[in-house]
Structure 1
């Protein structure tokens, strides 16, 4: 059941390594009372099995609304459906390339295309390394189109004590880009580094 009073965020999860980023984005949105519209790609289901002990049902239970990957007639495929924007966590090279080309073959890349055309934030947590020149040119093209490229890189200045803290910091900083402030994020000048007002 969706509610017009709650902000909505589209969450895309691709088959790149790092499915936990998408899972924690769903968890964070639930804590923040943000309605999530989940698109879980077919390849992401394979990664889920490889990287976690969770089932697809477990993941879908974390979202408010779930769409089939091929459902290009879904609400999130239309610009008239209001959202805060879309996060793709993690984002594979294949998905980023489709989005950059504007030739979309799935609901995930169609929803991303709609997000760009409506001038809403599109945050891509791209998971690939090393990057060749073609990847870099594609990323530049996406940035020029208005996407935010936000690779999930560790913030060691926060002195993380676990992998979970590293993941949460990356997810929280990505959610910052939608104006969503999640409590696990450690902030410079408040939680770490010089405290504001100190001489």
Structure 2
């Protein structure tokens, strides 16, 4: 249910960018209620509806009931891994890239965001709002290594190899050098843990 609003978002605003329309999480929670998809599951309805609402939030509120937090964190991790699958498949082929997929960011190696790079160096997930280019998008996806909630999610991230491909596609020198090296070292650590 977490992306139930994506079709409606695109139909109404012709974009998947929440910033240019409305939060697809908020819209999804409205649709889940309006469509009554959880009427037969009243015990799950609150946790699932809140997970839909919050799955795309930059950060979760501190005060969340335990059941809502667990469901939301699980959905957020799965969503990140799925987004990485889609973007890796798209960016692994030669450009030009679909503006819808790369959030209308240019594939210009001279453009970069200090904020995205700094988020990585600070070991935290970067924000979509700070993206300046396709390379920033690659780096942002790499920073999700710091935003995954569960060891199993981090293990899958390392095992699937998508994050590594995205990070390796960043320039090895210039402004991305240190952030790229840091993420590759973190991925190598996770891969070694997974091999044990």
**TM above 0.5:** no
Calculate the TM-score normalised by the size of structure 1: 0.29
Higher helix share: 2
Where is the strand percentage greater, Structure 1 or Structure 2? Answer: 1
Considering Cα pairs closer than 8 Å and 6+ residues apart, tell me whether 1 or 2 has the greater RCO.
1
Greater Rg by CA: 2
